[in-house]
Structures are given as C-alpha cells and as structure tokens.
C-alpha cells in the first residue's frame, strides 16, 4: 500500500450504493424550512447552474449571480455562493466546527441540526476549546449534568477526548487558574431564551462540586441563584425564566487548598420598568406571584389573588405551565436561610415587596384645588394605608407625596397639586425606585454571606442578550451597547489576537474581514459627542428636553453611516433614530430617554422614604448631601467599562447560547433563526479564521513531547526541539506539507491534525500501558517523600502553638513542597486541616490585637469606637482558650478597662449635648400617666396628678413607674414612706433604719430600683423644705453607692446627680464604682457614717481615668 492513513473510507471498500450516492460534485442550495440543503451539480449553463436536491429528481436553476428569492427560499432573499460539498462528509457529525471539511453556513447549520437531533447540544469552535456553541433543548436530558459528568470532566482520561460540555469550559478555566496562576472568565451570551441562565448554573455547579470550600461558600453561591432569580427574572414572550438583569460573578479560589474561599456578585441594569408594566403574554418578576401563592405571606401582607393587583394583571398572564410559583417560593425561603438572612431581614424584604404591589393599587380621582387648578385625591385608601404601614411611614404623609409635589424656586418652596395621570406616574416611579433599591440590597446582602478573602478568581458573566423589540427605548440602547462592548472583546480575543499570533510567528496569512464595531461604540460613548454623553449633558441643561436632545444627536451624526433618522421625522413629531449594530439595525424611540436616564424620584418621595421609622427602608435612601446624582447611563458606563477592564485582564472562554425556536418547544430546530444568531454572535467568523488560518498550534517543545511517540521504533538524532519536530514529521512518511514552522511553534490545519491524532492514538495503544506502570510507582514515592516533609513543617509550627507567622509559612509552603504532584494525588498532610483551624483562631487574636492597640490609645472616644471596642472585647472573651502572646493577654485586660473609660466619656458627651432630654421625670416614658397615677385614690386626685413629679409631704397611692408585677406597686409605697420618714417629713423613731429599709428594698428587688431613684428625684424637685432636701441628697449618696438604675433610666439619674447642691463629682464617681465594681449585697447598717465618709472622700473614681498602658 501507499502507507497513507485516513479517517475516510477508501473507494475500494465502499459499497455500490455508497459510490452512487456520493458520485459527482455537490453543493448547498436554499431550502424553504431548513435554509440550506445538499444538491448534486447537474450542469453548468450560461445563465446559471442546474442542480438536483438530494432525494429529488427535479432540477433547480441557481442564477449566475447567486441571488434567489422564490418557493425554494420561502420568499427570503438568499445569496447562494454554491459552496463545494463532499457528500461523504454529511455522514460524519463532528463535535468541532473547525474540523468540518467546509466552513460555510450550510455545513455548520447541518452539523448543529444533526447534533441537536441526537441531543448533542454542545459543539466546539476550535481545538483550543475556548468557544462553545450551546443550543437550548427546552427539555431536561437525563444524565447530562449529573455527578458522573462532573467527575468525568474533573478527572479527564489522558488518551480519550471528551465530548464538548460546559463542564469542560469550567474545568479548563479552573485548572488554568491553579496551574497558570491567571484569572479566568467565562462569557455566556445569547438572546433571551437561549439558555444563558442554565449555562451559568452548570458552570457554577461544576466549580462548587470540584473546588468545594471550608466554609460552605460554594453552596451559598448556588443558593444565591433562586433568590436573585425570584427578584430579577420574569416570563417574557421569548423565555419563561428570562434574566432581566446582568450579573458578573467572581469566584475566588485559595491557591493553598484549591478550594473556593469567597465570591462576589455585581448586578447590571435591572429592568425596573417591568415592575409597573409588562407586554401582553409576559409577567412581572416571579417573587410577586410566589408571595401571592404563599398562604403565610399572603395573609400577613394582605396579598390575595395576584389578578387583583394592577402591577400583575395587565398582561393577561398570571400563571404559566412550567413555572411552579409555590415550590419556587420554598426555594427562596431555603436560599435566605442558607445565606444567613435574619428573621427580621426576611420579614422586611417580603414586607417591602408587598408595599410595591399595594402601591400599584393606589387609584386617583380628580380634585379641584384653589384657582380651578386640577389636582387629585386617593380613591380607595386601603392600598395606600397598607403601603404606608409596610414602608414605615404615616399614611397622611404618603398620600401627600403621591398627590402633591414640592418645588423650590430661588430658595422658596411651594407645593403644587398633581393631576391623576401625573400622580399615577409618580406612584409608579416610587414603586420602581423601591424595587430597584431592594434588589441592590439583596445583591449586597448575598455578597455579605459570600464574603471571603480575594485572590485568583474565575469570573462568570451572564448578561442580557441583544434586544430588538417593536418599541425600543433607553433600556434597549444600554443593553445593546453592552453587547457591542462584549462583541468587541470577542472580536479582539478571537480574531485580532489570532492574526497577531501569525504575525509574531512570521507565518503568511490571508487577512479575514470581520465585523469591527468600534465605529458603533464611538457613536454611543465617544467623548464628548457620543449619544449617551450628549444625553447626560442634556439632562443637566435647565431647559433640556427629549426633542432638543434628538435634534442635537441628529445634527452631530448626520454623516455617520451607522446612524439614521427618517427625513420626515420632524413633520411627524417623531423622536426615533436608528443605529446599525453588529446584530442588525435597531430603531430607538427617544421620547422618554431623559426621564429614564435621570432615574430619580420626586424629592418629596425620596425624603419620605429616608425618614421611615424602619432603619432598613431608610437606608435605601441615604442622605446625598451635596453630591450630585449620577445619571443611569453614567453609572452603567462606569460599571461596564470596569467590567471590560476586568475581562481584558483575564483569559476568556465563551459559551455562545443559541435558541432553536421562538416557541420554547423541544425537538424543534428552526434553521433561519439559528443561522441568524450564529451570524450575529460572530461564530461563523470564528470558525472561518480558525479554519482558513491554523487552528491547531503547539510550541516546538510541546509538539515534540506530544508526537515523538508516533515513530515508536525510531531513535531521534536531532538535539533541539525544532529539529526533533522536523525529523518526526519526515520519518512518519505522511503528507505534512501543510504544517507551518513559526519562530516558536508549529501551526497546522484540521487535515494535519486528524492525521497526527490518528497516528498518536495508534501508537499510544501500545506505549501507554507500559509507561504507566513504571511512572506511577516513581511518582507516588516522590509524592510521599514531599508529603512527609510538608507534614513535619506544619507539626513544628503547631508545637510552638502561638506563632501565627510560623504557622502561616508552614501552611503556605505545602503547595510549593508538594508542587504539581498535588494535581495527581488528593491526599494532603494529615495535620493540615488542624493547622488551618489553629491559624484561623490565632488570626482572630491578631485582628483583635490591632483593634485593641488602636482603641486603647483613644483619649477622646466616640460612640462608634465604643461600640467597636465593646464588640471586640466580647469576641475576645469567647476566645480565651486560644493560646495568646503576653502582649495579647495584657492588651485584653487593658481593653476591658478602656471599655468602661470610653462608656463613661461617651455618655458624658452625650449628656453635655442632649441632657435637656433627661431633665424632668415627665420626660421619662416608663412612668405612669399622671391621670392613671391619681386614679388610685378616691379623693384629692387633682392634687396628686399635679404633684406626681414634684416634692410632696404626703405618701403616694402607688408606684410612679408602670409595673407588670402588682407586688412592686405595694413595695413602691413602702419605699416612699421610708424616704419620707428618713427625710423628716414623716415622724419615725428611727429615720436611719427607714433610709436603710428603702435602700434594701431596691437591692432585693431589681425592678424597684428605677422607682426609688424616681422617688428621690421627685422629692428634690421644687422642694419646699431645705432640711428635707439635704436629707434626700444624703440618702441619694448612699443609694448610688449600693445599686444602679436600669439602662433606660440611667441618664435621668445622671442629670439629677449633676444638679446636686454639693459634691457633684463625688456622686458620679461613687456611681461609677458601684456600676463597674463589686456591688454590696445589703444596705449599710450605719447610714450616717456612710454618708459622712462619702462627703469626706475627694478621690476620683478609677474608672473615669484612662487605663495605664505601662
């Protein structure tokens, strides 16, 4: 024989039927449904080419110019280049489009359709496995994403290529991140309904399963999906679970453990307009329907049938067959639980969502205002009352901001009424503003749960596809602008870098033209006259308007081929313009561009929400101060440019998602729709440049290493890698003339790749088993030696116990010590987990040490510093079992004292600034109402009511404080009687004993302590008996030395002590000693001597002095 090898079946081995079927020249011609079909060329004629479609006897003429439009094209205008076709190639279904014999729409569409029919959804574009085409099956395929597939792609067999799969993209990205130490990105794109969300889930699922984590963060990443989908996904005409926002997920990996150590999600451009309006056949966000289906939530927030809400009943669709709202709601609850949402947070999220729905049901009717001005009033107040309650604002104020608007002219504020239409629009703006801010909160809250240390990351981009609707507005321009940016990134990495490689290697290469969309990007964003920049400028102009904006961009771009307007636009009062995007021409209506770009609420609405008594609601509307609100396009451009910078710093892979039909039906492949998406996403160009270029390339070293084996009996004479490559190709005795020798690598096409692949497979069948036996033993022995070394280093650090740097060094050295062998063996040092746990615990003390060092030096603390130190001391008290350094032990003791010092000083400053709030007993909410207090007596109620808070000679009918325990009311009367006796207002043979009794009652009954202090304050307020007042201050001195009031009443006592006629500082010092020192268990027996000692003591409390750091 010739010695030539081939994957093709030789003619000598073909049957007669095969020879007949494949004879002649074949090409692709139009088909009314399949777009392209194979046909045999029958005859070349002067006016065109006569062809016979496969399976038919009827001839069709393809005109000379190739332009066809008729029954064969189903009325489409279709260019027919008559691409050559090898009939036998139709029998082979390649899993890499670059490996096809012909690169054209017909062959590529045929391959994808065949694979789709066999439930093979994924196809590679090039041997580099960086671009994957994914066709949505609209059905679940058993086993496609199960654990066995994850394991297969994670532990890829060395000599067996696996079929294309998103897990392969994820696996390559993960491994490159670890081995090449480069950040990675996976860009998932496609139209709505193409399967982007599912592809994102599967990439994350693979990463979570393979990498895992020490803190369950991988599960939290997966659980974030149902939560964000509930609030950010909706049914559209094209897709029952369409993401109405874009997201970029960065998953951080610890290089030491190869495990996930944290993650972060960024969200882009939530479609807020959907909250108030949906097209026919669509739905609002899933969460609204889920809450209406949930019996508990619907009862709590008065959410009856979803069809009763204006925000949900406009489109005619409440339920959809393949969406289980009730079941999905349970997933949302579970997700919140896994993401550590507190009960309060969950309640607030659902309550705020319900408020949005109720706002939609607020109706308005005409109301005549002064001067015949048309205003509005609320029709049915139930909805506005519920919305106000759920937002934590008063109904009256909410009604006012919905029906009126405040405007400021020359610093004068006036209120203008709104007619029902404007009021309704304003209510919609409030609903959109609330929902958008709530969604941003959810993303921030999810990130809080995913937070960990940042490092090498794998980013996954799931962003809205290109959109062309019947009516396209500002949102579509932003979305399509983002897709232009991403297409440019795809162009640069897929096309430009490809050609740059050939230039660097010195390879002759015919340039392939592809769609360069820089001119469109400049049209939209170039400074200073890009459309979005001119829109921002118009929003800042006092007299700016949409028509003026339209006139300006029309004048600026009248010579730009990518920008068009109708010449009769002004006569028809149209504000429409067209942009020729890479994916087609889109007509935009700019009539609401400025309003949508400003994305602002009436100031009255903003201020009302900011004043909510609910802290979380108020936090959604922060005080902006003098900061100018940034436009939506400004924010989006900033986010998008930051994302693009991030992407250009990564090694990118792509999943191009394709929807096979618009009806979301399984097993339906509409070729014209598929081909259109392939064209717009740049797949044809990607295949073409790889096919006509050299898609397979290896450095000389890698090529020699990979293919030396194809000549198993040959002894190579060359000593350098390039020489070995040339020698092995010559010895192989095959036609490798198409292989190009560059400066550092060999580059070749699919034909050469197929031959090399076949030769290598044949050789490895005999070589691999022998090599494996020898190598495996040696590798394992070396691994065990390195493992023992790493284990010893860790144990030395563990024995020291409290040297965190030594421990970190030992842990970090594991990777370097074991080296690349870690990829082959899963076993780690047996003490590694123990060391990590110990490191983390030591790190807690290191972190606390820094806090203690900083805050114990603070002489003039504020409340935030006090809170931080208090929390840190509390955390430290739970970590006393961890080995500490001498410095940490000393700092902990010092911090405990500093907390007291700070608390004293912060409270003093608070009273200096706000003491007027605590000056009178009448200001304390814990006391009874005077009428309630006086009711306890039949006669003299008016006098009792009048003197409840001031000095009196008479006893009291009950306690001043509100008591749930009636026994305390009785004891309060006893304590007051004892105080009266001690002060001399009530005769008693042993006043000192009565004073001690009052103190003992307070010591024994904690609930009585505020009462005793309140009685003492009462008896020194407007006191008419000087001697009695002096005695009251004496017993007050004894009280502050024995017990303290509650936290709620403490400031009232402090302000009272500040008014002491003498020894003010001594009262407060004594109080501090009692509060922070050891408290007596009984009242003093000799009250007089205690009081005398108090008056003679001039020492300052040690607690009010800053602790000594020496």
| Tokens at 497, concatenated | 């870098």
CA distance linking residue 792 with residue 796, whole number of Å: 6
Active site residues: 192-193, 197, 239, 242-243, 465, 467
SS3 264: strand
SS3 907: helix
Residues 6+ apart with CB under 8 A from 142: none
Question: What Rg value do the Cα atoms of the chain yield, rounded?
Answer: 40
CA distance linking residue 1110 with residue 782, whole number of Å: 54
pLDDT at 1110: 54
CA distance linking residue 1016 with residue 56, whole number of Å: 111
CA nearest to 253, candidates 452, 403, 497, 391: 452
- C-alpha torsion sign, points 72, 78, 79, 85: negative
Where would I find the H helices in 470-516?
Answer: 474-491, 497-505
Residues 6+ apart with CB under 8 A from 1046: 1009, 1010
| Tokens at 123, concatenated | 């196809």
CA distance linking residue 409 with residue 820, whole number of Å: 71
Q: 35-45 and 26-31 as β-strands: parallel, antiparallel, unpaired?
A: antiparallel
Angle CA 832–836–841, to nearest 5: 150
pLDDT at 1104: 64
- Determine contact, residues 674/36, Cβ cutoff 8 Å: no
pLDDT at 171: 95
b/e code 425-447 from CB counts within 10 Å (16+ = b): ebbbbbbbbbbbbbbebbbebbb
pLDDT at 1020: 94
pLDDT at 7: 59
3-class DSSP string for 707-773: HHHHCCCCCCCCCCHHHHHHHHHHHCCCCCCCCEECCCEEEECHHHHHHHHHHHHHHHHHHHHHHHH
pLDDT at 159: 54
pLDDT averaged per 10 residues, the chain (length 1110): 62 70 85 93 88 87 90 90 88 88 89 95 90 95 93 81 93 92 93 88 93 84 93 90 90 90 92 91 96 95 94 92 90 95 96 97 92 89 96 96 86 88 93 96 96 90 82 91 89 76 86 77 95 94 92 95 89 91 90 87 91 96 75 90 93 94 93 90 80 82 89 91 94 90 90 85 77 82 90 89 87 88 85 88 88 89 91 90 87 90 91 92 93 86 91 92 92 95 92 93 94 95 92 93 93 93 88 83 78 80 66
- C-alpha torsion sign, points 897, 903, 905, 908: negative
| Tokens at 989, concatenated | 């043979």
- C-alpha torsion sign, points 3, 8, 14, 20: negative
Angle CA 938–939–941, to nearest 5: 95
Strand partners, 588: 472, 577
Note if the bond before 135 is cis, omega within 30 degrees: no
Side-chain-side CA neighbours of 711 within 13 Å: the count stands at 18
CA distance linking residue 6 with residue 1029, whole number of Å: 115
pLDDT at 256: 85
What dihedral angle (degrees, nearest 10) is formed by the CA atoms of 376, 382, 386, 387?
A: -20
- Determine contact, residues 658/134, Cβ cutoff 8 Å: yes
Note if the bond before 528 is cis, omega within 30 degrees: yes
CA nearest to 1084, candidates 992, 977, 1007, 1009: 992
CA distance linking residue 334 with residue 332, whole number of Å: 5
- Determine contact, residues 356/434, Cβ cutoff 8 Å: yes
8-state DSSP, 493 = I
CA distance linking residue 387 with residue 369, whole number of Å: 25
Residues 6+ apart with CB under 8 A from 600: 606, 629
CA distance linking residue 324 with residue 143, whole number of Å: 23
């Amino acid at each position: 024989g010739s010695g030539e090898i081939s994957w093709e079946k030789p003619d000598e081995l073909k049957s007669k039927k095969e020879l007949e079927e494949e004879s002649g020249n074949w090409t692709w011609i139009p088909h009314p449904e399949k777009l392209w079909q194979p046909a045999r060329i029958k005859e070349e004629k002067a006016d065109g080419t006569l062809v016979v479609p496969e399976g038919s006897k009827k001839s069709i003429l393809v005109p000379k110019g190739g332009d066809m439009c008729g029954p064969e094209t189903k009325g489409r205008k279709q260019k027919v280049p008559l691409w050559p076709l090898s009939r036998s190639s139709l029998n082979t279904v390649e899993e890499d489009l670059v490996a096809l014999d012909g690169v054209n729409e017909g062959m590529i569409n045929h391959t994808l359709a065949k694979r789709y029919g066999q439930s093979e959804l994924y196809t590679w574009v090039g041997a580099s496995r960086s671009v994957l085409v994914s066709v949505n099956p609209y059905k679940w395929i058993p086993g496609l994403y199960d654990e066995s597939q994850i394991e297969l792609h994670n532990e890829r067999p060395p000599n067996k290529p696996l079929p294309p799969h998103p897990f392969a993209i994820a696996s390559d990205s993960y491994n490159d991140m670890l081995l090449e130490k480069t950040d990675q990105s996976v860009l998932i794109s496609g139209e709505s309904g193409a399967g982007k969300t599912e592809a994102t889930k599967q990439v994350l699922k693979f990463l979570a399963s393979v990498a895992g984590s020490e803190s369950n963060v991988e599960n939290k990443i997966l659980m974030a999906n149902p939560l964000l989908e509930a609030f950010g996904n909706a049914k559209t005409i094209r897709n029952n679970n369409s993401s109405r926002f874009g997201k970029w997920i960065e998953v951080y990996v610890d290089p030491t453990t190869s495990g996930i150590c944290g993650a972060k999600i960024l969200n882009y451009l939530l479609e807020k307009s959907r909250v108030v309006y949906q097209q026919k056949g669509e739905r609002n966000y899933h969460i609204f329907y889920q809450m209406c289906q949930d019996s508990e939530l619907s009862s709590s927030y008065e959410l009856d049938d979803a069809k009763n809400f204006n925000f949900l009943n406009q489109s005619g669709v409440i339920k959809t067959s393949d969406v289980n709202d009730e079941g999905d709601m349970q997933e949302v609850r579970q997700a919140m639980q896994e993401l550590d949402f507190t009960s309060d947070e969950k309640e607030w999220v659902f309550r705020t969502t319900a408020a949005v729905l109720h706002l939609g049901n607020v109706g308005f009717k005409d109301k005549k205002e002064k001067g015949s001005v048309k205003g509005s009033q609320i029709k049915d107040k139930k909805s506005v009352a519920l919305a106000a309650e759920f937002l934590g604002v008063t109904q009256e104020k909410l009604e006012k901001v919905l029906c009126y608007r405040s405007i400021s002219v020359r610093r004068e504020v006036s209120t203008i009424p709104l007619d029902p239409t404007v009021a309704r629009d304003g209510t919609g703006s409030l609903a959109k503003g609330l929902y958008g801010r709530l969604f941003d909160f959810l993303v921030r809250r999810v990130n809080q749960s995913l937070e960990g240390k940042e490092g090498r990351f794998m980013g996954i981009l799931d962003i809205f596809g290109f959109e062309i609707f019947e009516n396209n507005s500002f949102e579509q321009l932003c979305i399509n602008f983002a897709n232009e940016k991403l297409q440019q990134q795809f162009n640069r990495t897929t096309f430009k870098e490809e050609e740059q490689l050939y230039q660097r290697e010195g390879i002759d290469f015919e340039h392939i033209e592809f769609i360069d969309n820089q001119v469109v990007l400049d049209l939209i964003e170039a400074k200073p006259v890009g459309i979005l920049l001119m829109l921002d400028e118009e929003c800042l102009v006092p007299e700016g308007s949409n028509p003026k904006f339209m006139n300006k961009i029309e004048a600026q771009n009248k010579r730009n081929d990518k920008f068009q307007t109708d010449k009769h636009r002004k006569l028809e009062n149209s504000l429409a313009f067209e942009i020729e995007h890479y994916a087609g021409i889109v007509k935009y209506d700019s009539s609401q561009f400025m309003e949508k770009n400003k994305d602002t609420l009436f100031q009255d609405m903003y201020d009302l929400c900011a004043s909510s008594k609910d802290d979380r609601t108020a936090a959604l509307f922060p005080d902006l101060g003098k900061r100018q609100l940034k436009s939506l396009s400004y924010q989006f451009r900033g986010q998008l440019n930051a994302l693009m910078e991030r992407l250009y710093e990564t090694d990118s892979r792509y999943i191009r998602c394709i929807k096979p039909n618009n009806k979301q039906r399984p097993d339906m492949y509409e070729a014209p729709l598929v081909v259109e998406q392939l064209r717009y996403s740049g797949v044809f160009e990607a295949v073409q440049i790889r096919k006509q270029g050299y898609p397979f390339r290896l450095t000389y070293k890698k090529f020699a290493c990979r293919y030396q084996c194809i000549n198993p009996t040959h002894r190579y004479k060359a000593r350098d890698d390039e020489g070995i490559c040339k020698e092995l190709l010559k010895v192989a005795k095959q036609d490798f003339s198409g292989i190009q020798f560059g400066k550092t690598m060999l580059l070749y096409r699919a034909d050469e790749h197929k031959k090399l692949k076949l030769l290598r497979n044949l050789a490895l069948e005999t070589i691999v088993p022998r090599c494996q036996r020898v190598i495996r033993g040696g590798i394992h022995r070396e691994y065990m030696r390195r493992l023992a070394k790493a284990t010893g280093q860790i144990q030395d650090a563990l024995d020291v116990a409290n040297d965190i740097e030594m421990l970190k060094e030992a842990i970090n050295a594991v990777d370097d010590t074991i080296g690349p062998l870690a990829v082959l063996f899963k076993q780690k040092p047996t003490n590694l987990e123990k060391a990590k746990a110990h490191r983390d615990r030591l790190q807690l003390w290191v972190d606390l040490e820094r806090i203690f060092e900083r805050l114990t030096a603070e002489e003039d603390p504020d409340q935030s510093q006090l809170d931080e130190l208090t929390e840190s001391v509390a955390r430290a008290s739970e970590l006393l079992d961890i080995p500490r350094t001498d410095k940490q032990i000393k700092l902990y003791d010092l911090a405990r004292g500093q907390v007291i010092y700070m608390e004293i000083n912060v409270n003093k400053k608070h009273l200096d600034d706000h003491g007027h709030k605590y000056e009178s007993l009448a200001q304390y909410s814990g006391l009874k109402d005077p009428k309630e207090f006086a009711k306890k007596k039949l006669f003299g109620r008016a006098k009792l009511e009048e003197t409840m808070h001031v000095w009196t000679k008479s006893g009291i009918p009950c306690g001043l404080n509100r008591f749930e325990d009636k026994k305390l009311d009785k004891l309060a009367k006893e304590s007051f009687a004892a105080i009266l006796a001690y002060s001399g207002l009530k005769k008693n043979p042993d006043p000192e004993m009565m004073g001690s009794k009052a103190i003992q009652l307070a010591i024994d009954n904690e609930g009585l302590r505020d009462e005793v202090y309140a009685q003492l304050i009462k008896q020194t307020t407007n006191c008419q008996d000087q001697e009695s007042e002096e005695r009251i201050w004496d017993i007050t001195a004894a009280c502050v030395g024995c017990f303290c009031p509650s936290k709620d009443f403490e400031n009232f006592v402090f302000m009272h002590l500040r008014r002491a006629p003498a020894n003010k500082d001594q009262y407060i010092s004594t109080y501090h000693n009692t509060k922070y020192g050891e408290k007596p268990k009984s009242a003093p027996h000799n009250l007089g001597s205690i009081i005398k000692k108090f008056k003679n003591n001039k020492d300052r409390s040690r607690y009010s002095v800053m602790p000594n750091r020496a």
